[in-house]
Amino acid sequence: MNLQQSLQDMVDQKRIFSVAMKVERGDGSILWSGSAGDMRVEDPYFIASVTKMYITVIMMKLIEDGKVSLDDKISRHLPDSFCDGLHIFKGVDYSRQLTIRHLISNTSGIPDYFFHKQENGRTAADELLEGKDEAWPLDRTISLVKKLESNFIPGKKAAYSDSNYQLLGKVIEEVTGLPLSEVLKACIFDPLNLKHTYLYEDPKDTRPVPFYYGTKKLWLPTYMASIGPEGGIVSTIEEVMVFVKGFFSGVFFPTSRIASMKQWKTIFPPPGLFLFGVGLEKLWIPWIFSPIKYPGEILGFWGQTGSFAFYNPKTDLYFCGTTNQIDGRGHRKATSLMVTTIKSLL
C-alpha cells in the first residue's frame, strides 16, 4: 500500500491540515516516515496525552526501584491539602482510599476537569476550543474537583480523567524530590538520546506545530505549558518512535510487566471508544469488523490532538505520528490507516 498517498488523501479532504506518521517493524524490514499538508517529518509537535505513556514509564521505574507501589494510598505521597475532600461520592468521603492504581488506570472516579461541566454549564474544553488560552495547573484542577461530585466509588468503573495524571505528576515530584521535567530528562530523554523531546513549559516557545479544531487553528501555549504530566511533552515522530519501541521492548522495565497492564476496561471519552488498562490503552477493534484478517492487539496511547503511539504484536509493527486535529476526525483516519497497514501484512 502507498502510505504517502494515504497521508495526502487525509489532507486533501480539507478536514485535516497537517499530518506526520512513522511506521517501523521490530526487525527493521519496514522503515517508513512521511508527512503531508502543513507539516514536515522533522517538525516538533505536541504529543498531548501520549505524554501519559511516558508517565507510565516513570511510575513503573519507581515501582521497580521499590519507591512506590501501585496499591499505595496517594495520601502517603501527597500533602493533606491535596487529598482532603478530593473524592466525595453520594455523601461519602473516599479520598483516603484512593491509590496510585486508581489514578494510572482511570478508575479513581475523580472528575475530569477538562470535560466536566462547571456551575456556569461550561467546561474547560469549551473555553479552550474557542481559543481562550489559560493555564490549568494542578492547584486549579484540585480546587475545581473538590467542588464536584465524584463519578463513582474508586475502583468500581473506569472514566477518562486528565485530573488523574495531573495528580500522578505531583506524586512523581514528591517521591523523587525533583521537578517532572528533570525526572523525564534523566529517566527517558537522556538515556534514549532524545535531542528534540522536552516538556513544554515556556509559552513563548513557538517550535511545535499548531493543532486544529475543525477548520480553526488553535494556539494555546499558556494552557499547554501548564499541563505537563497529562499532555505537555513536545517531540518528533522520529523520537516518539524511539520511545514507543523502548516501551514495548524492555528498555525501561521488564517486558513481563506489560501483561499486568492489560486490565482492560471500556472507556468512552471524546472522540471515541477504546480500552484502558494500567497506564496503557488498546484500540477497540471488534472481531466482526475484520474476521478474516483480524489485526489482534494494538497497544499504546492516543492524544486528544490526534497524536498516537501504538504497537501491534501480531505483525511487530510500531506506529506513531499526529494528525493535529482535536475533533476526532484524525483519530478515525489514523486508526483506519494503522489497521489497513497491519492487515496488508497478514
pTM score: 0.96
CA distance 305 to 129: 11
pLDDT tens digits, the chain, 346 residues: what are they?
A: 689 999 999 998 788 999 999 999 999 999 999 999 999 999 999 999 999 999 999 999 999 999 999 999 999 999 999 999 999 999 999 999 999 999 999 999 999 999 888 778 888 899 999 999 999 999 999 999 999 999 999 999 999 999 999 999 999 999 999 999 999 999 999 999 999 999 999 999 999 999 999 999 999 999 999 999 999 999 999 999 999 999 999 999 999 999 999 999 988 654 456 899 999 999 988 777 777 889 999 999 999 999 999 999 999 999 999 999 998 889 989 999 999 999 999 8
Cell numbers at 251, concatenated: 528498555
Burial-class residue 314 by CB neighbours within 10 Å (0-12, 13-18, 19+). Answer: middle
Q: Does the domain made of 3-343 have the CATH classification 3.40.710.10?
A: yes
Distance of CA 37 to the CA centre of its chain: 24
Distance CA 23, CA 272 (A): 23
Contacts 24+ apart (CB under 8 A), 190-196: 191/251, 192/239, 192/242, 192/243, 192/246, 192/251, 194/235, 194/239, 194/242, 194/243, 195/239, 196/44, 196/235, 196/236, 196/238, 196/239
What's 325's DSSP letter? B
Cα 87 to Cα 95: distance, rounded to the nearest angstrom: 5
d(CA 216, CA 307): 17
Q: List the grid coordinates of 327.
A: 475533533
d(CA 261, CA 241): 20
Q: Could you count the other beta carbons within 10 Å of the beta carbon of residue 286?
A: 8
Distance CA 231, CA 222 (A): 13
What's phi and psi for 320, nearest 5 deg? -155, 160
